A = this chain, B = another copy of it.
Amino acid sequence: MYYIGIDIGGMSIKGGLVDENGTVYVKKTVVTQADAHYSVIVKDIADLCYSIIAEKGLTINDVQAVGMGIPGTINSQKGVITYSNNINFEKVPIVKEFRKHFDVPTFIGNDANVAALGEARFGAGKNCNDVIVITLGTGIGTGIIVDGKLLEGKVGAGAEGGHIGIRIGGEPCSCGKRGCWEAYASATALIRQTRRAIEKHPDSLLVKFAEEEGKVSGRTAFLAAHADDATGKAVVNTYIRYVAEGIISLVNLFRPDCVLIGGGISNEGDYLMERIQRRVNRYSYGGHRNPKVAVRKAELKNDAGMLGAVALCL
């Protein structure tokens, strides 16, 4: 059976022909006309779908369903985009509009949630029913899958796990609150923590690695830590404590089968995963009596959104 997964981004729209096992047969991309009227963008998506099936010699009757991951607040039940801040989408009945051109069952979801669903279903979370996907990037994205289904909250306004608090009254967050997990454990936060450490310890190896890369990045502190620099190790240890703190809160609420970590910081791989795993084992509620929650690196990278859009259809 064939499905089409669509991943709508601010720059480009990616589409793929995929089966129920996550095998990708065709992959195509068009530019997002982000400032155009929504009907233009929707027509582009439909044309992309026709071009994808043509490549495999199929017709619309061979497509079981289409899924779409869309940036913004999505009312998946009504098939409506409430709001998107990257694209000119506000109160857009996208499913209805799309089916004027390409009339198969169509499902939509928030792009980050949908990518999490893809990772849970076809990536590092395969065979797990309850999965939390965490993206450590500019902010912290979370996708929460309970019993195989995305947790979306009322009108898709939930699952903002980056904005659970970890230090009441702490660092200011872009959301207007203080002390959010994102303000401590995103890549942006790690860079800020590294900069502060450089100011305090201008003789540390952090300075050398930042100079080599031409900037302070999310890697700087890890590079220094691997080179056995005391300041680098202190920054990394504190950062890992922050990352684990939010994960433990989520584990205590959801007790998933596994926690998958993606985003730039996840490239630190086993060094990072093992240290988070240890804290999760030690500090999550109920200790040994409760089932262990596996902490793993996410696998799918750029195809997560497209595959997740297909998972929406299944």
Q: Are A164 and B289 interface neighbours, CB within 8 A?
A: no
**Known contacts A167-B168, A249-B164, A177 near B291 by CB under 8 Å:** no
The answer, yes or no, to whether A228 is at the interface (CB within 8 Å) is: no
In residues 249-271 of chain A, which contact B (Cβ within 8 Å)? 249-250, 252-257
**Is A130 in the interface zone, CB < 8 Å from B?**
yes
Closest B residue to A249 using CB positions: B164
Of A32-40, A59-67, A151-159, A301-309, the segment with at least 4 beta carbons within 8 Å of chain B is A151-159
* B residues in contact with A73, CB < 8 Å: 286, 289-290
A176 in contact (CB, < 8 A): yes
Are B253 and A253 in contact, with the CB atoms below 8 A? yes
Asked if A53 is at the interface of the complex by the 8 Å CB criterion, the answer is: no
Q: A294-312, CB under 8 A of B: which get 1 and which 0? A: 0000000000000000000
Q: Is the CB of A256 within 8 A of B153?
A: yes
Given contacts A146-B146, A289-B83, contact A254 B166 (CB under 8 A): no
**Is the beta-carbon distance between A252 and B155 smaller than 8 angstroms?**
no
Residues of B within 8 A of A157 (CB): 255, 285-286, 290-291
- Expressed in whole angstroms, the Cα–Cα distance for A58 and B272 within the complex equals 62
Q: Among A17-25, A106-114, A206-214, A240-248, which stretch is in contact with chain B?
A: A240-248
Which residues in chain A, 172-215, are within 8 Å of chain B measured between CB atoms? Answer: 175-177, 184
Given A165-B166, A168-B242, A255-B157, does the pair A177, B130 have CB atoms closer than 8 Å? Answer: no
> A287 contacts which chain B residues (CB < 8 A)?
176
Q: From A129, A163, A176, name the one whose CB has the most chain B CB atoms within 10 angstroms.
A: A163
The answer to whether B253 touches A158, judged by C-beta atoms less than 8 angstroms apart, is yes
| Given A164-B249, A165-B249, A254:B158 Cβ within 8 A | yes
| Known contacts A130-B154, A153-B130, A177-B248; A253 and B159 CB within 8 A of each other | yes
**A-B contact list, 14 entries, CB within 8 Å:** A129-B154, A151-B253, A153-B253, A154-B256, A157-B255, A157-B290, A158-B255, A160-B286, A161-B252, A163-B285, A164-B164, A167-B167, A168-B184, A175-B285
New contact pairs (5) apart from A160-B286, A164-B249, A175-B285, CB-CB < 8 Å? A130-B153, A155-B291, A158-B253, A177-B248, A177-B285
